């Protein structure tokens, strides 16, 4: 376990266990150098506690980098609750989890993530104020989708020298909160949509609303497209599938898209432009952070639009230095964190 913390430079790890409400959870705080750690709460079945722990640690670092490059005053953290098997009392479990968060005194602020919605955040909010994305605060996914759309425009301009998406083939994997909204933006912009989801209701919806071509999840990499937009779960860019990839750009909302750092280098070497996940998907974090601190929508929208500019400079630096975009963005984020440490010293 300490090796994992060391590998991702995670500052704190909290274990939450309350047997009578079946609560088993981890809260990983990567850094609070730029402000209180803000990051979503995952609620999923895990094969074992080690897999949940690994998820929390790995995702926490991404949140620090995301906040650093999005320019919001937050550190990076993530919580993962192992979904109990069989019947459980959700209200009790999440209220208990809220008490654990409260005991951290504001060093960690939670939000929705895979498996949680505003309902769970409302239960947490009964016990602590260190929570965003409650039903009063609104859903950040719309801003994540807007940021991904702006990022795709920046990638298309850099890779193809085009100012719009008309006629480009975009494959969206995952039509959930973010993916469906992204599909709508892409459709309105004149892209030719291909969609893939394990949930057949969602693919049928995308087919009827946007005239999208449906791709079976087992045949994902058989389709040629200009842009692949992963909006499902992480690890989709992996060593098994890399040789099958046939696109010019990878740009989507999923967290931890790359199985490891070598995958980022492989994409670069193959001439596939990768929009680093934690940069392009920062719209939701910007929304959560700025609503929590009381900012207005125009400020939030301005910051989300700026994500396209951040990506343009990453693409440029990558081209000039002959480095993968994933390495350029990691270096920029680390530099911001070091700068904050120097200022604090």
In the complex, the residues that contact ligand NAD under the rule CB under 6 A are 113-114, 140-141, 144, 173-179, 196-199, 202, 217, 231-234, 253-255, 281, 284
Per-residue tokens: 139: 């859903």
Smallest gap from Cβ 176 to ligand NAD, in A, equals 2
Nearer to ligand NAD, 140 or 276 (CB): 140
Q: Which DSSP state fits 82?
A: E
Among candidate residues 66, 78, 150, 192, the one labeled active-site is 78
Calculate ∠ Cα 277-52-263, nearest 5°.
35
Residue number of the CB atom closest to ligand NAD: 176
Smallest gap from Cβ 316 to ligand NAD, in A, equals 24
Q: Which DSSP state fits 61?
A: H
- C-beta neighbour count of 269 within 10 angstroms: 9
Q: How many whole angstroms separate alpha carbon 153 and alpha carbon 206?
A: 21
Short-list 33, 25, 88, CA closest to 63: 33
Smallest gap from Cβ 162 to ligand NAD, in A, equals 25
Q: Which DSSP state fits 162?
A: -
- Name every residue whose Cβ is closer than 8 Å to that of residue 150 and which is 6 or more positions away in sequence: 304, 305, 307, 308
Asked if residues 57 and 13 have their Cβ atoms less than 8 Å apart, the reply is: yes
- Name every residue whose Cβ is closer than 8 Å to that of residue 191 and which is 6 or more positions away in sequence: 165, 166, 167, 168, 169, 170, 227
Q: Which DSSP state fits 12?
A: E
Nearer to ligand NAD, 127 or 169 (CB): 169
Per-residue tokens: 50: 């080690």
Nearer to ligand NAD, 96 or 148 (CB): 148
Short-list 141, 81, 65, CA closest to 304: 141
Asked if residues 175 and 203 have their Cβ atoms less than 8 Å apart, the reply is: yes
Short-list 256, 277, 271, CA closest to 318: 271
Smallest gap from Cβ 181 to ligand NAD, in A, equals 8
Per the annotation, the verdict on 336 as an active-site residue is no
Asked if residues 321 and 290 have their Cβ atoms less than 8 Å apart, the reply is: no
Smallest gap from Cβ 144 to ligand NAD, in A, equals 4
Nearer to ligand NAD, 141 or 326 (CB): 141
Nearer to ligand NAD, 114 or 251 (CB): 114
Smallest gap from Cβ 239 to ligand NAD, in A, equals 17
Nearer to ligand NAD, 144 or 310 (CB): 144
Which residues are the active-site residues? 78
């Amino acid at each position: 376990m300490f090796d994992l913390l060391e590998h991702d430079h995670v500052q704190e790890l909290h274990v939450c266990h309350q047997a009578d409400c079946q609560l088993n959870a981890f809260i990983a705080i990567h850094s609070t150098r730029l402000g209180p750690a803000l990051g979503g709460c995952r609620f999923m079945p895990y094969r074992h506690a080690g897999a949940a722990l690994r998820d929390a640690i790995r995702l926490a670092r991404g949140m620090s980098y995301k906040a650093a490059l999005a320019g919001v005053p937050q550190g990076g953290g993530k919580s993962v609750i192992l979904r109990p098997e069989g019947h459980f009392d959700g209200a009790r479990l999440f209220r208990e989890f809220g008490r654990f968060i409260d005991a951290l005194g504001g060093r960690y602020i939670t939000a929705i993530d895979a498996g949680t919605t505003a309902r769970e955040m409302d239960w947490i909010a009964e016990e602590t104020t260190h929570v965003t994305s409650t039903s009063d605060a609104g859903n950040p996914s719309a801003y994540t989708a807007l940021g991904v759309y702006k990022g795709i425009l920046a990638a298309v301009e850099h890779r193809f020298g085009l100012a719009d998406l008309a006629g480009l083939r975009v494959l969206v994997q995952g039509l959930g909160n973010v993916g469906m909204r992204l599909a709508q933006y892409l459709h309105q912009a004149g892209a030719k949509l291909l969609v893939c989801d394990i949930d057949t209701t969602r693919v049928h919806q995308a087919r009827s609303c946007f005239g999208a071509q449906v791709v079976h999840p087992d045949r994902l990499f058989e389709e040629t497209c200009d842009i692949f937009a992963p909006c499902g779960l992480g690890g989709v860019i992996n060593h098994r599938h890399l040789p099958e990839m046939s696109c010019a750009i990878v740009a989507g909302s999923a967290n931890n898209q790359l199985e490891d750092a070598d995958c980022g280098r492989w994409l670069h070497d193959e001439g596939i432009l990768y929009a680093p996940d934690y940069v392009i998907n920062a719209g939701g974090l910007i929304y959560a952070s700025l609503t929590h601190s009381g900012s207005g929508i125009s400020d939030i929208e301005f910051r989300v639009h700026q994500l396209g500019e951040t990506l343009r400079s990453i693409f440029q630096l990558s081209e000039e230095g002959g480095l993968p975009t994933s390495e350029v963005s990691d270096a920029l984020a680390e530099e911001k964190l070091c700068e904050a440490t120097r200022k604090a010293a």
